[in-house]
């Protein structure tokens, strides 16, 4: 299966994509995680992306397309993958068609629907493991110890772009640049809309049902 998650920032793409990837035993490819790793490693890509991400804007298409082209060419993606955060613009969606094949019958697109007013609270209370990327929420799903990751024991931190100002910019970018991508896939009849409000387990059940 080749699955794309589309949704506004904080809609639960990362939470659900990790879980689905475990269930289906296919890689979870998050462009946000790839960029954050590049920033942490201080690579040229990371230095270029860091200020753009912190401001809540989108990294240029040509950089993102190059990243995905290389990642999907790896062996572990041959039997399927989950894309989380890509494509985010129409240019990226069209290029992805060229990579996976236009009319590819294995491709499914899941759009998580969460209204803007729920987003800011989700994101400003999100905490992420600095090492393994596990996602927490201070109210809904806090780490047991409060400050370290339940899974690997590393520090649990707030992302630099998880402040209210950047979140509002990310939401604006989603509405302007990414919603047309959902329309693009709707026209191909491969888009499934999933209500993203409710407990994480319930949203996951909806996702599984929509893929049947
Ligand atoms: P990226 O990392 O992709 O960020 P995003 O799209 O803004 O999404 P988030 O990671 O913020 O949220 P999510 O939907 O994964 O939600 P999560 O599961 O964490 O991208 C970051 C930046 O990188 C972009 O702004 C851009 O600059 C750049 N970038 C990346 N890809 C790019 C591309 N293709 N082109 C150009 N630029 C690109 O959940 C959020 C919180 O809610 C958590 O605390 C979680 O515990 C909680 N939660 C989850 N589900 C529920 C639920 N059902 N109920 C209550 N709380 C829940």
To test the pocket of ligand 1, the residue of 85, 111, 177 to mutate (highest count of ligand atoms within 8 Å of its CB) is 85
126 is known as an active-site residue: yes
- Determine the distance separating the centroid of ligand 1 and the alpha carbon of 14, expressed in angstroms: 6
159 is known as an active-site residue: yes
Hey, whose CA ends up nearest to atom 50 of ligand 1? 12
206 is known as an active-site residue: no
Hey, whose CA ends up nearest to atom 2 of ligand 1? 32
Backbone φ and ψ of 81, nearest 5°: -165, 165
Q: How many C-alpha atoms does 6 have within 13 Å on its Cβ side?
A: 27
pTM for the predicted model, two decimal places = 0.94
To test the pocket of ligand 1, the residue of 8, 21, 32, 199 to mutate (highest count of ligand atoms within 8 Å of its CB) is 32
The two tokens of residue 69 are 């082209």
Strands (E), 28-99: 28-30, 81-84
For residue 156, what are the CA distances in angstroms to 29, 132, 137, 149, 188?
21, 10, 11, 6, 40
95 is known as an active-site residue: no
Per-residue pLDDT tens digits of the chain, which is 212 residues long: 999 999 999 999 999 999 999 999 999 999 999 999 999 999 999 999 999 999 999 999 999 999 999 999 999 999 999 999 999 999 999 999 999 988 788 999 999 999 998 998 899 999 999 899 899 999 889 999 888 999 999 999 998 888 889 999 999 999 999 999 999 999 999 999 999 999 999 999 999 999 98
- Determine the distance separating the centroid of ligand 1 and the alpha carbon of 81, expressed in angstroms: 18
């Amino acid at each position: 299966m080749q699955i794309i998650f589309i949704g506004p920032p904080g809609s639960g793409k990362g939470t659900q994509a990790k879980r689905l990837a475990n269930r289906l035993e296919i890689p979870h490819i998050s462009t946000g995680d790839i960029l954050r790793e590049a920033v942490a490693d201080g690579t040229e890509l990371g230095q270029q992306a860091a200020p753009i991400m912190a401001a809540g804007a989108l990294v240029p298409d040509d950089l993102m397309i190059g990243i995905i082209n290389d990642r999907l060419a790896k062996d572990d993606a041959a039997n399927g993958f989950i894309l989380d955060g890509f494509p985010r613009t129409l240019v990226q969606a069209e290029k992805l068609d060229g990579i996976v094949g236009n009319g590819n019958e294995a491709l499914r697109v899941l759009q998580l629907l969460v209204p803007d007013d729920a987003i800011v609270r989700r994101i400003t209370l999100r905490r992420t493991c600095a090492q393994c990327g596990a996602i927490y929420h201070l109210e809904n799903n806090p780490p047991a110890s409060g400050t370290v990751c339940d899974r690997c024991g590393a520090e649990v931190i707030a992302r630099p772009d998880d402040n209210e100002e950047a979140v509002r910019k990310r939401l604006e970018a989603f509405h302007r640049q990414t919603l047309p991508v959902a329309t693009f896939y709707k026209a191909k009849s491969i888009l499934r809309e999933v209500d993203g409000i409710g407990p994480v387990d319930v949203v996951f059940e909806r996702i599984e049902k929509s893929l049947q």
